Structure 1
């Protein structure tokens, strides 16, 4: 039932910790923890190196589990770069589905302030676009998961305040935080997200500036994971994708119905275009653009990410 008062530290939460390096397949996991080995992060040389450590639903009193697992990651040589993020899921079961529209309204009012508090890097904004009035209107017309997802390229389907997660696992997902393996930074992010969800659940109107938002929530105004510098070559890769999108959209639809561009990058014999077609599977094609029209050189040996 919404609204109702629930103490922020009585809410359960989960954290998804993206990182590169280390030996993730060998990491000893606490009960209920999961290691995803097929994520999309890349190392400093542009090579695939992505893994994501996922907590089970935790109570605030169980947060020391995070310290234990973070220490194990660091001991293995895991580290952060610009391609890593930190996502916090907050359980909203005390309010149920009635919490969804208030979350959308709160996002419209103060998502920029929350993003500014968490210092989201410019390059990570691609993975956490804002909730829009169009999203709210779509949900009012048809209250279901799909109405809460942004249309467009696959990386942009989930908003920075992702209320669609309620339909997946009973949570709201806050996606703004930069990647980190520092215990205290992660704890501050988790506490901020818990306090935010509790305030929305209570029906409070939240301010739209970072400092005022932190004060209203009783959260610290700083000490969150800082943005990590992005190398020039990676920014150029993003620019290439943006430039190619209007050119290859039609071909993508012919190759894979309902497919969407996931990423593009130059390879020795052309331009590799990775297309997502539902379910998280990526299918890669190498294309070459002659003077008159694009030519398909080859399909990759197997679907990437499948």
Structure 2
């Protein structure tokens, strides 16, 4: 029997070629996208303010969140971009600190505690967007970024705590913020000492608690001339300053800023009420797990 005219290729070769073409036309979804699709199916993201589907904080509601006036991290008086006043900065390694919104706002509190304690990793993007909005609203901070081309670096968790939680929320926020601001992100520090919970401590006790808590991350040889340290919440700025001290010990001629999604103003020694930590919707444990694995 004569072979059909197929340009010299056998029919089974044509079938293979057709299959390859179909494969190219319908690419397989990346694993992270598949995880995100599953998490959205089991626990759809809904705006914490209006309930609109699609994001934990929709664009319309996010734009209405009131931003904090930039303030000195020590005296909390207004200052350009959150820079520490000269009279307050005598013992600081940190140049300034910019917090986006108050933790007392219900949607901010829900996003922070959801991301930090309830596995809602995807909430980090909303928190990063809030920080980016605060940065853009401060001419002084924007000018500093344009002049210094800083590197973002998350505040590290102690390895034991990170293993227990499964992730470092500051790292998630820092990576999302790097995409927002189009800046590089590097892990410059590691946490070498487990510390007591800062929330119940006085300002002086916080500083003592953090003594020797940080060191340079393994393999870090050169420190960038400008760094933005990233965390979810700032209270007194003691954690930022302890981390900045390690960087400044390695390089004196540098500028270091801290940024956080929320500022927690509380009386020294006072812990947040347990009732303020929200209970997220969880259908047989599936919703929380699905969101926790989505990046």
TM-score by length of 1: 0.24
User: With CA pairs under 8 Å and 6+ residues apart, which has the higher RCO, 1 or 2?
Assistant: 2
More strand, by proportion: 1
**Which of 1 and 2 has greater Rg?**
2
